[in-house]
Amino acid sequence: MKVQVNGEELVIEKPVNIKEFLVLAKAEQPEYVTVQKNDAFVERSKFEETFVEEGDTIEFLYFMGGGSR
């Protein structure tokens, strides 16, 4: 199964939920990442019931501070 994660292809063996996918896809700071599946935000409360399947496009959006000091 091929999925796109932040623009890169990733092969996974079977559909997994977002919570598992965060580990599989090595998301940085999975506790704070914002997740989009096929251009829609996935609520954190729905991470366990939302599955990543063949052809899905997933985006991890990270907090980025920086700038001043």
Residues making contact with other proteins (CB under 8 A): 6-7, 29, 31-32, 34, 36, 39-41, 59, 61-69
- Residue 12 or 35 with smaller CB distance to other proteins: 35
Residues 4/58, Cβ–Cβ less than 8 Å: yes
Element of type H or E holding 42? strand 40-42
If the CB atoms of residues 14 and 69 are measured against other proteins, the closer one turns out to be 69
Please say which residue, 2 or 34, places its beta carbon nearer to other proteins.
34
User: Residue 40 and residue 60: Cα distance in Å, rounded?
Assistant: 12
